[in-house]
Amino acid sequence: MVRVYDLAHCRAGDKGNTSNISVVAYSEAAWRVLSEQLTPERVMTAYGHIAKGPVRRYDLPNLRALNFVIENALGGGVTRSLRQDMHGKSLSSLMLTIELPGHNEETP
């Protein structure tokens, strides 16, 4: 198993009640693992206890990056959320905890 933390870096932003989390691979090998294994289903499972979803994934191979859009993720949106992190800026770090099957020879 390999953590997303070992393959990529992430940034989270918000719009209304939607979280936008990018995943940027450190290497070509890491990109191959991520694009194959970091599915919207896996991401929905990781965020399921705080977000209703759905999750959409956009691929940017030029940038070796994935962009995840998670709907209904911010407790009603920045302006009315009861959460401490109402923008969900820290949600990028939750992405880094996801574990993938990976391939030992391809992890950096």
Partner 1 sequence: MAAVLPPYTTLYRSQQMSSSENGRPSIRIGVGAGTADDRIHPAVQLAQHGELDYLVFECLAERTVARENLTRSKDPDRGYTPRMLERIEAVLPACLENDVRIVTNMGAANPRGGARAIRQLARDMAAGDIACAVVTGDDVSDLVRTMPALKLLETDAPLESILPRMASANAYLGADVVAKALATKARIVITGRVSDPSLFLAPAMHEFAWSYDDWPRLAAGLVAGHLLECSAQVNGGCFADPGRKEVQDLATLGYPFGDITTDGSFTIGKLDMNGGRVDVATCTEQLLYEIHDPANYITPDCVVDITDVRLEQVARDRVAVRGPKGRPRTPTYKVTVGYFDGYIGEGQVSFGGPNAVARAKLGAEVVQARLKERGFTFPELQVDLIGYSSVHGELPSRPEPYEVRLRIAARTDDRRAAEAVGFETRALHMHGPAGAGGGSDPMVREILAVQSVLLPRELVSPEIGLEGEA
85 binds partner 1 (CB under 8 A): yes
Q: Which residues pair with 58 in a beta bridge?
A: 67
52 binds partner 1 (CB under 8 A): no
The correct pick among 32, 37, 39, 78 for binding partner 1 (CB under 8 A) is: 78
Nearer Cβ to partner 1 (40/75):
75
Of the chain, the end-to-end C-alpha distance in Å amounts to 13
Transcribe 78-100 into DSSP letters.
TTT--SSSTT-TTHHHHHHT-EE
The rounded distance, in Å, linking the Cα atoms of 34 and 19 is 19
Q: Which residues bind partner 1 (CB under 8 A)?
A: 5, 9-11, 13-18, 20, 22, 24, 49-50, 56, 58, 60, 62-63, 65, 67, 69, 75-80, 82-85, 89-91, 93-94
